[in-house]
Amino acid sequence: MAASMSSEFLARTVCGSFNRIGFLMGRVPHGAMRVARQTKVFPKPQETNYVLPSHHSRCLFHSANRLSSQKEDVAFDDTDAEDDMAVNELSLEMKPKGYMAARPVDDVYMICHYPPQMVTFHEAMDKLRSQDQWAHIRKPELYKNRTVTISILLDMALEKKKKVVAFTNMVILPHQFKEDNKVLCFAEDSDTQAALDAGAFMVGNADTVQDIVDHRIHHRAFDYCVSTPEMMPSLTKLKEKLRKRFPASKRGSVSNNITAMLNLYSKGHEYKVQGKHNTINCAIGKLSLTNEQLEENMAAIISDVCSHKPLEFGSFIKKLTLTAFLLDGHVLDFKNYLPVSDEDKKLKEELEKLEQST
């Protein structure tokens, strides 16, 4: 009796529970099933109506029951099924690779399951301004006027293996949001007053070069350095000190037009391409500016950036993100800000004329 009880307890423990339909809950080893039949815990299939199906047959049985219940509960309509099939096919075609769908259904969703959702500039700015109001920070006085920045991802490819070389440039924004840059201008004595009137922070000559070399004037006391062509031979000693700030004609920091040169470098806004990632991170203003002013600043930067790649090679910008200091980033729809070729302009004008005539 004790042996039979122990074997029965073993069979029930290993095999699991057995329901009235005849399904064995869990996978049963062959040896345990044999012990259960010997102790008459589970009768043989031939002696009773109980059936012990395999794992595959159980799956088929459940799926068949599920389909039968759906047919009984819901009336089948051919027209509705065709519409559903068309919608499903369309959703499958529009579904991006690696994502659940092209667009989320709800307002709250997992960002990793959907591609970045593009918004307009004004929608993004409204979200940033609202977030600036409720965002909790320890020292709110330090973030009263946050800096708004854009991040531009570029397509540097040209013909075959050629690429656009990483560049740095200056652009004058329509709406200034920071103090003027400190510019050191090397010019002759006759041009000293003209340089000061144009906004030069300091006007230098040959003696100024020696003062910078001897550290009597610190080379970080000014932001940029410009010069006239006549003064360039005397500036060779400053190459190691100034490095990238050393005047060069390619960057427009060597010119006889002192007024235009100083206006560009004193009020200009610098941006540069990061060679490894092909991106530009550039500030366009503060939150104290209006949305229209910030949009005009962004459009000026985009038009200047796109001038470094011919239009025949396609769009220079692949992605544009708008953000503010310690706030969320929003992907923008930037197609309206890209430059248009002359042929496209003519086509648009012709289409507008046709629409007006009709």
Tens-digit pLDDT string for the chain (358 aa): 444 444 444 445 444 444 444 444 444 455 545 544 554 444 444 444 444 444 444 444 444 455 445 544 444 455 555 555 544 544 554 778 888 888 888 878 888 888 888 999 999 999 999 999 887 777 777 778 899 999 999 999 888 788 999 999 999 999 999 999 999 999 988 888 999 999 899 999 889 999 999 989 988 899 999 999 999 999 999 998 898 899 998 888 999 999 999 999 999 999 999 878 899 999 999 999 999 999 999 999 999 999 999 888 888 999 999 999 989 999 999 999 998 877 777 777 788 778 887 7
If asked whether residues 192 and 260 sit together in one domain, one would say yes
Burial label for 218, CB within 10 Å (0-12, 13-18, 19+), is exposed
Domain holding 287: CATH number? Answer: 3.30.190.20
The Cα 325–Cα 142 span in angstroms is: 11
If asked whether residues 254 and 277 sit together in one domain, one would say no
Residue 282 lies in a domain: yes
Helix axes 291-306, 121-134, angle to 10 degrees: 130
If asked whether residues 33 and 170 sit together in one domain, one would say no
Residue 349 lies in a domain: no
If asked whether residues 150 and 275 sit together in one domain, one would say yes
The Cα 23–Cα 228 span in angstroms is: 94
If asked whether residues 111 and 141 sit together in one domain, one would say no
Q: Are 140 and 325 in contact (CB under 8 A)?
A: no
Residue 16 lies in a domain: yes
Q: Are 223 and 181 in contact (CB under 8 A)?
A: yes
**Count of domains forming the chain:** 4
Domain holding 231: CATH number? Answer: 3.40.50.790
Parent domain of 93: 75-115
- 38 alpha carbon, distance to own chain's centre: 68
**SS3 letters across 189-219:** HHHHHHHHHCCCCEEECHHHHHHHHCCCCCC
Residue 293 lies in a domain: yes
If asked whether residues 281 and 334 sit together in one domain, one would say yes
Render 240-254 in DSSP notation, one character per residue: HHHGGGS--TTTT-B
Residue 350 lies in a domain: no
If asked whether residues 101 and 127 sit together in one domain, one would say no
